[in-house]
Each structure stands twice: as structure tokens, then as C-alpha cells.
């Protein structure tokens, strides 16, 4: 039976990425050695790193005055590194979910971290509007996609102060005007690569902004000067990420990917909106096209476990909602084919005919 992978992360990767990475595990770049055992200082991996950086810049149209880094530690380490490097006294945070909350918490260790607005009052089911960004803050931090609750900021906002975004779960899913941000970062295990590598896009004039001393490994300047090679980088994940970038370029690039993503999301949201037993959990104007969250309508809630088992029997994987929300979550990352979304919709319709 075909499996349809809706896991929220680590998540589905392109077949091309899996095949090319599998080959490299046995013979990397014609060396006769495995990708898992070659030196990151060898000319083969240096070429891989350089190509990955250049293709990342090309696909996202990153301006020349930005650096691209591939680091360890996940987005969670960036929650600390961002204020450590960029916050002298005050920063502003938009709190739209679990990960935004964690980023805000870390920033409080380094100075005054202002909560500009929060949607916690309605279980993070919407994106706050009409808030005021403090002009005296050194940066404004947002989390563009909310994987747990299914909301997304799908535009590049104008900010009166430097804008920083955690784009862990929606990078490469739509064109982004990089020039509106001084920094974008994220864990790779959604749209880019296996877990283990973190991407950082940072404008070069943002380093050396604080008066405090920064430990060497936590200093962005260290990694810019050393081309992400100050210590051994996550070679396997970077190589796999390069294969994903090649796949995406061959598909037509990020703009073409967005068209496909919208088609997938609209198919599933239409099914939810027209259902007798399912209902969405987020404000319609703030719906994520990456993570679609839904539950059973009140009178059908006792059937949630039964639907989970039914969906599993049809090959659906990873649609159970996060433990803090319940219900269901279908993650529609770049590599998930439209056919898988159609299979889920067919599964939902079949269950509804039996129960409604």
C-alpha cells in the first residue's frame, strides 16, 4: 500500500533527494567512499557546500549583501543566538504559537523582550492584527508559519525596525522579498533537508551590533568568516538539502512551487469547509498552506479515534494533531504530491458517507 506522509517534521522529502543521497552514502562524488565518512575539508565537500549556498541564494533571490550559513543546533539554538548577537537592550516579539513563545522566552535572558501582540487568548488560532511595533527596539521577531496550530503570515511585512523571521516550516514554499528582513533562519526538516542542519540568512551589516562578548561558536561572525566550516558541519543533511534544491529548481523554482502548494491547500480546505463532520480550527484569513489543522464537529468528536484508524488503513501517515490541540493536522510541505492530498480528501469523504 502506498504511504502518504503528512508528518509535521521531520517530514516528506522528494524522491530525487532520497535516491541521490542514498547513492552518495555508498559512493560520494566518485571518491569510492561514503558521504558519511569523507572529510568536510576535502575538495568534494567544499564544492558541495559552495554549490548549496549558491543555489539557496539563487532560488530565494538573496541579495549580495547577505550571508547564508548552514549550522547545527536547530531553530531552537537560534532562539538564543539571535538576541545574543543582535539585542543590546530591547527587542520586540510577535507571539503566534509554541515556537514563537519559546523564542520570546530565550530573548528575555538578554534584555527587555517586549511582547508586541499574542494570539494565545484564542489558542493561537489567528495572527494578531493592528499592533504597534516599538520604534526603540533593536529588532522585531516573527514566526511566519505556526506548525502546531496551522496559521501563517504569507506576506513580507513592512517593519519600521529590523525584521527577523523564523521560517523553519515555510521556507522555499513561496517567493520571499529577502530585502525586507535582516535575518531569516530555520530548521531544515520541513521543506529543505533531513534534521540536523539549520539555515541562516543574515544581512552582513548586522554582525558586531552588541557590546557583550559572545562565545566563539555562538557568534555569527565566526561562521561567516569560516563559510560555515568553523567546526564540522552536518555534511549528510547539507548534501541532502542540495539535492532538494536541485529538485526544486528543476520543478520551476519557488514561484512554481507556491502554485502547487496553493492547489494542494485549497483542495484540502475546500473539503473541510464543505464537510458535514470536519471543521477547521483557524481563522480563514490566516490559514497556513503548510499545516492544515482540523477537528471533528462537536457531535462527531467521539469518532476521532475511529477516523484516525480508518485513515491509517488507507495509507495516511502523521495526520494526528499535536497533543496540545488534538484533532488532525495534515502537513503539506513542498515534497508532498498533490495525489497524496487527493487521497486524504477521498479518505475523509468516504468516512463521512459512512458516518454522517
Active site residues: 99, 166, 190
Are 153 and 127 in contact, with CB atoms under 8 Å apart? yes
Q: Give dist(CA 307, CA 296) in Å, integer.
A: 9
Residue appearing with cell numbers 554549490: 51
Neighbours of 316 (CB within 10 A): 23
Q: Give dist(CA 334, CA 39) in Å, integer.
A: 31
Dmax of the chain from CA atoms? Answer: 65
Amino acid at each position: 500500500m502506498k504511504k502518504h506522509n503528512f508528518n509535521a517534521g521531520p517530514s516528506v522529502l522528494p524522491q530525487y533527494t532520497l535516491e541521490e543521497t542514498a547513492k552518495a552514502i555508498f559512493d560520494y562524488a566518485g571518491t569510492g567512499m561514503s558521504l558519511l565518512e569523507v572529510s568536510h575539508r576535502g575538495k568534494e565537500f567544499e564544492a558541495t557546500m559552495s554549490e548549496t549556498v549558491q543555489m539557496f541564494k539563487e532560488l530565494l533571490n538573496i541579495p549580495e549583501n547577505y550571508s547564508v550559513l548552514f549550522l547545527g543546533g536547530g531553530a531552537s539554538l537560534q532562539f538564543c543566538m539571535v538576541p545574543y548577537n543582535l539585542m543590546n537592550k530591547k527587542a520586540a516579539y510577535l507571539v503566534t504559537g509554541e515556537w514563537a513563545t519559546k523564542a520570546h522566552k530565550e530573548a528575555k535572558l538578554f534584555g527587555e523582550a517586549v511582547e508586541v501582540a499574542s494570539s494565545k487568548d484564542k489558542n493561537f488560532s489567528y495572527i494578531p492584527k493592528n499592533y504597534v511595533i516599538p520604534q526603540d527596539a533593536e529588532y522585531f521577531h516573527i514566526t511566519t508559519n505556526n506548525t502546531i496550530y496551522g496559521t501563517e503570515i504569507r506576506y513580507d511585512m513592512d517593519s519600521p525596525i529590523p525584521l527577523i523571521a523564523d521560517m523553519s516550516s515555510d521556507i522555499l514554499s513561496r517567493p520571499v522579498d529577502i530585502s525586507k528582513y535582516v535575518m531569516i533562519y530555520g530548521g531544515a526538516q520541513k521543506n529543505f533537508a533531513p534534521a540536523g542542519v539549520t539555515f541562516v540568512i543574515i544581512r552582513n551589516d548586522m554582525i558586531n551590533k552588541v557590546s557583550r562578548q559572545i562565545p566563539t561558536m555562538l557568534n555569527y561572525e565566526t561562521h561567516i568568516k569560516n563559510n560555515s566550516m568553523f567546526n564540522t558541519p552536518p555534511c549528510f543533511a547539507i548534501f541532502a538539502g542540495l539535492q532538494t534544491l536541485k529538485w526544486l529548481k528543476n520543478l520551476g523554482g519557488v514561484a512554481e512551487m507556491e502554485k502547487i502548494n496553493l492547489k494542494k491547500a485549497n483542495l484540502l480546505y475546500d473539503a473541510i469547509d464543505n464537510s458535514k463532520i470536519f471543521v477547521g480550527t483557524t481563522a480563514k484569513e490566516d490559514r497556513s498552506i503548510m499545516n492544515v489543522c482540523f477537528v471533528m464537529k462537536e457531535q462527531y468528536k467521539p469518532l476521532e479515534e475511529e477516523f484516525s484508524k480508518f485513515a491509517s488503513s488507507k495509507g495516511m501517515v502523521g495526520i494526528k494533531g499535536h497533543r496540545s490541540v488534538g484533532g488532525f493536522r495534515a502537513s503539506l510541505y513542498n515534497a508532498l504530491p498533490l495525489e497524496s492530498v487527493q487521497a486524504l480528501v477521498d479518505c475523509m469523504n468516504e468516512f463521512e458517507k459512512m458516518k454522517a
